[in-house]
Amino acid sequence: MTARKIVTPPNPTLRRTAHKVRAFGPALQTLIDDMIETMRVAPGVGLAAPQVDVSQRVIVVEYAEQPEDPEAPPRPAKLYAAVNPEIVRRSHETVLGNEACLSLPGFMGEVERHEWVTVKGQDRHGRDFKLKPKGFLARIFQHEIDHLNGVLFIDHATEVWRIEEMAAQENLPPV
């Protein structure tokens, strides 16, 4: 596995609709492995192929919902590799939340997303799957699938700010 370079604007791949994956051969497996490595090194909780300058409909997500009880042991993260993912259902309920993006370093924004979504697609071997993430995991899937359609979180944000400015306002050290 090799960590790839994460592209930033104005790289045009970020604004294009990614191509559907039709071949599930060694090149796709290498791309997915490299994306996982890149996401972990960055570090992040999700990554879409356009963010590594590959116009294919592939995302990786790694996240664990943590128990509400602070005394409970943390849950292990679950890794998803989704090929040709699409959102086929959405909750009527939405929630505002803060988002950042590996392709927009130093920025955060407040984005309204659906509380849950139903995602269908294929796993890395071409097998069909369907899942229904909710909460923050649903937010991650919506964010990454947006990348496949040339959409960045700033396109949905009601407010965007520099992380350093927020830290200065709250007298926090910059991250």
**144 an active-site residue?**
yes
Here the tokens at position 168 are 């200065």
**Alpha helices per DSSP H over 72-134:** none
How far apart are alpha carbons 49 and 28 in whole angstroms? Answer: 11
Active-site residue (options: 65, 110, 115, 144):
144
b (16+ CB within 10 A) / e for 95-120: eeeebbbbbbeebbbebebbebbbbe
Q: Enumerate the active-site residues.
A: 144
